[in-house]
């Protein structure tokens, strides 16, 4: 039972009411142009009503968020700029540098350019070239062991999201050598422990135009015991510097262009349509606990919507013509734009649903991926549900879906609020078909009988699904999104 208001609380509320007429409950009625008679029963009741709101506003767990925070790495963009990394490490006074890459990149231009720069600048380094493409908890732990053994004072990641994420984990657990692996993994799978000390500098050099991981504090891996992906997310993980060099993405095979580009598309669309940050609860009591993924916010909006327009224009060109270096360069920029947008706003359903899609895959192996195990590339796993996801979320924030459809070239005046989700979904479907993306989850070998497991694997992805514009959907809604994603066109 709430305590009866004392004279002093009533007096304080009176002062508050007078200074805050906008919040006055009396003014919630239209045409109520009255004065405040301070002695009537009606006004006393309003005071009590307001007092209750004021009292509950003291409990942070019930309060909505009131602030958002922008974090991003420093970004250096330019053709050939990888050659500066050695000088950067000298400027950081690094004595021992650990360079992480995957077995394929180890043989290609990006790693050669890094090694050349390190040698020229006489940097002391060790190389770990065994990062797993689409990493797992096991592959993360192997990289962490390497890092703990060498205990470097700076890290360089040369590769796609798989390499950059693995390097972030190596950096984190080397700083907390006694931590249990699950300590920092997102709740409810892990403990979601916040990172409360600075990590060693990490320079990320992306070789795909995709994840934007060079800008974010997120590291994603497949948690093998549970057959779905999860991650570690804290802004302390974010690289100090992203060296974004268009020469490094030139060797991407067509399917890596497509998959990593579709990841950018979903980062942009999901962050732009995410629940607004001011609707998120609880308001963190300590700023350290404000999540990296905060919901859509005015600054992320700019980055995300612009990234979307770039993907619509340049991804089809980059995929269809391997010599279209301009389109490839713009896609690399778009990945970074979207990374800054979604790195602060977050992603929601396409990503939440993708984690069991990749984790439950048994035999599908995407072309152009040089690995000896089944693989659904991350970008494919997020894109296949996109037409159904945005049909579902359309009614929850129609204006944002209209903006997105306009980015796809639809005439704004032709879209009604009630059809925004459908129109966007239709455009997305055509975009995917044009890029020759597998036709829905059935093309990966899933059928209706897998939906129960797919839903079960999505429920723990609350960190992202709760950023859907209507909050986390229930089991039936998830099942229906999966069902309608079995075939897209």
Ligand X SMILES: NC(=O)c1ccc[n+]([C@@H]2O[C@H](COP(=O)([O-])OP(=O)(O)OC[C@H]3O[C@@H](n4cnc5c(N)ncnc54)[C@H](O)[C@@H]3O)[C@@H](O)[C@H]2O)c1
Q: Residues 31-50 vs ligand X: string with x where CB under 6 A?
A: --------------------
Q: Residues 216-255 vs ligand X: string with x where CB under 6 A?
A: x-xxx--------x------------------xx-xx---
Q: What value, to the nearest 5°, has the Cα angle with vertex 173 and ends 168 and 175?
A: 100
Query: Among residues 84 and 134, whose Cβ is nearest to ligand X?
Result: 134
Eight-state DSSP code of residue 276: B
From the list ligand X, Zn ion, none, pick the one residue 84 interacts with, judged by a Cβ distance below 5 to 8 Å according to partner type: none
The phi-psi region of residue 80 (left if phi > 0; otherwise alpha if psi is between -120 and 50; otherwise beta) is: left
Compute φ and ψ for 434, nearest 5 degrees.
-60, -30
CA 250, CA 438: separation in Å to the nearest integer? Answer: 24
Query: Pairing between strand 74-77 and 218-223?
Result: unpaired
For the bound state, the minimum distance from the C-beta of residue 256 to ligand X, rounded and expressed in Å, comes to: 4
Query: Among residues 260 and 419, whose Cβ is nearest to ligand X?
Result: 260
Query: How many residues sit in the footprint of ligand X (CB under 6 A)?
Result: 36
For the bound state, the minimum distance from the C-beta of residue 115 to ligand X, rounded and expressed in Å, comes to: 16
Query: Among residues 64 and 365, whose Cβ is nearest to ligand X?
Result: 365
Give the closest residue to 211 by CA, choosing from 266, 168, 250.
266
Query: How many residues sit in the footprint of Zn ion (CB under 5 A)?
Result: 1
- Cα torsion for 483, 471, 270, 377, to the nearest 10°? -50
Per this entry, what is the length of the chain? 489
Q: Residues 237-276 vs Zn ion: string with x where CB under 5 A?
A: --------------------------x-------------
Q: Residues 93-112 vs ligand X: string with x where CB under 6 A?
A: ---------x-xx--x----
CA 461, CA 381: separation in Å to the nearest integer? Answer: 15
Taking CB under 6 A as the criterion, which residues in 367-386 touch ligand X? 369-370, 378-379
**Two structure tokens written together for 76:** 């250096």
Tell me the H-state helices in 220-372.
Answer: 254-272, 298-320, 325-345, 349-360
The verdict on 167 binding ligand X (CB under 6 A) reads no
CA 311, CA 292: separation in Å to the nearest integer? Answer: 24
Q: Residues 182-221 vs ligand X: string with x where CB under 6 A?
A: -------------------------xx-xxxx--x-xxx-
Query: Among residues 43 and 101, whose Cβ is nearest to ligand X?
Result: 101
**Two structure tokens written together for 462:** 């609350």
Interface with ligand X (CB under 6 A): 102, 104-105, 108, 133-135, 159-163, 165, 207-208, 210-213, 216, 218-220, 229, 248-249, 251-252, 256, 259-260, 263, 369-370, 378-379
């Amino acid at each position: 039972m709430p305590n009866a208001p004392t004279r002093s609380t009533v007096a304080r509320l009176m002062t508050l009411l007078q200074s805050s007429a906008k919040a006055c409950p009396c003014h919630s009625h239209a045409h109520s142009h009255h004065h405040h008679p301070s002695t009537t029963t009606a006004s006393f009741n309003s005071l009590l009503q307001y007092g209750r709101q004021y009292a509950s506003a003291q409990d942070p767990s019930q309060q909505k968020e009131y602030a958002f925070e922008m974090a991003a790495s420093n970004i250096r963009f330019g053709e050939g700029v990888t050659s500066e990394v050695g000088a950067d490490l000298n400027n950081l006074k690094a004595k021992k540098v650990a360079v992480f890459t995957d077995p394929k990149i180890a043989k290609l231009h990006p790693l050669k350019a890094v090694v050349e720069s390190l040698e020229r600048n006489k940097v002391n380094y060790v190389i770990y070239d065994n990062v797993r493409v689409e990493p797992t908890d096991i592959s993360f732990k192997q990289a962490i062991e390497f890092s703990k053994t060498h205990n470097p004072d700076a890290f360089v990641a040369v590769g796609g999201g798989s390499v950059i994420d693995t390097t972030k984990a190596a950096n984190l657990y080397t700083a907390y050598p006694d931590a249990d692996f699950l300590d920092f993994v997102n709740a409810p799978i892990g403990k979601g422990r916040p990172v409360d000390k600075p990590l060693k500098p990490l320079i990320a050099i992306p070789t795909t135009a995709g994840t934007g991981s060079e800008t974010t504090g997120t590291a994603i891996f497949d948690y093998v015991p549970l057959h779905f992906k999860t991650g570690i997310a804290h802004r302390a993980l974010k690289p100090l510097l992203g060296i974004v060099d268009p020469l490094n993405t030139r060797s991407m095979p067509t399917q890596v262009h497509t998959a990593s580009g579709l990841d950018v598309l979903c980062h942009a669309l999901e962050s732009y349509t995410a629940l607004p940050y001011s609707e998120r609860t609880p308001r963190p009591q300590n700023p350290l606990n404000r999540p990296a993924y905060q919901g859509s916010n005015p600054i992320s909006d700019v980055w995300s919507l612009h990234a979307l327009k770039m993907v619509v224009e340049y991804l089809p060109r980059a995929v269809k013509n391997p010599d279209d270096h301009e389109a490839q360069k713009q896609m690399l920029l778009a990945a970074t734009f979207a990374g800054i947008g979604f790195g602060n706003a977050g992603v929601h359903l396409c990503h939440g649903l993708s984690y069991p899609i990749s984790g439950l895959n048994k035999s599908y192996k995407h072309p152009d991926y040089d690995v000896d195990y089944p693989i659904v590339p991350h970008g494919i796993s997020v894109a296949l549900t996109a037409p159904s996801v945005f049909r579902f979320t359309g009614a929850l924030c129609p204006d944002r879906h209209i903006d997105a459809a306009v980015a796809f070239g639809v005439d704004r005046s032709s879209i009604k609020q009630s059809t925004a989700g459908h129109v966007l979904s239709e455009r997305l479907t055509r975009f995917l078909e044009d890029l020759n993306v597998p036709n829905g989850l059935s093309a990966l070998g899933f059928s209706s009988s897998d939906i129960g497991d797919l839903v079960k694997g999505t429920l723990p992805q609350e960190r992202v699904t709760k950023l859907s514009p209507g909050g986390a959907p229930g089991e039936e809604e998830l099942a229906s999104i999966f069902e309608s994603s079995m075939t897209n066109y």
